[in-house]
Amino acid sequence: MRVRLHPSGPEVTRIIPGLMNLAAWDLTPAQRLDWIEASLDLGLTTFDHADIYGGYTCEALFGEALALRPGLRQQMELVTKCNIALVKGARPDHRIKHYNTSASHIRSSVARSLKNLNTDYLDLLLLHRPDPLLDPYEVAEAFYEMHRSGQVRAFGVSNFTPGQIDALQAHLDMPLVT
């Protein structure tokens, strides 16, 4: 069964497989592809990612499997999240764990996610956590740019309070769909 997150879209499956622990599954690319296909066969077409999952590895593991059968991309919705900056070897410029909602960080996170997921667009991008230093004008600038370019079709937030959602939405001409 599918649900529409917002009147302007997108539509997603009621149950969304999360890929937070994909790296721990210890599967070959072919086995990951089998899992993706089995999920699609069950009607689970929406996949939840975040750039930080698996210490910044899970998106690439999914994308590696998807590269084995690129036509599957048209049968699914990809959701990912950004703005948590973890201290990991994959991100040597992160000196402390923090939230980063700067336009440059959002843009670079999306560019990496697109490359890692082996796709040219995201169905939904979420800000993962509220950032007390969030500049709504800067976030809006990044969102508009990525939407106009076709990189991201819809935007939302995760783990925000209703007041935080309203504060960001007040600076956007497009809806936050989550």
Active site residues: 53
For every residue of the chain, DSSP letters joined together read: -EEESSTT--EEESS--B-TTGGGG---HHHHHHHHHHHHHTT--EEE--TTHHHHTHHHHHHHHHTTSGGGGGG-EEEEEE-EE--BTTBTT--S-EE---HHHHHHHHHHHHHHHT-S-BSEEEE-S--TT--HHHHHHHHHHHHHTTSBS-EEESS--HHHHHHHHTT-SS-B--
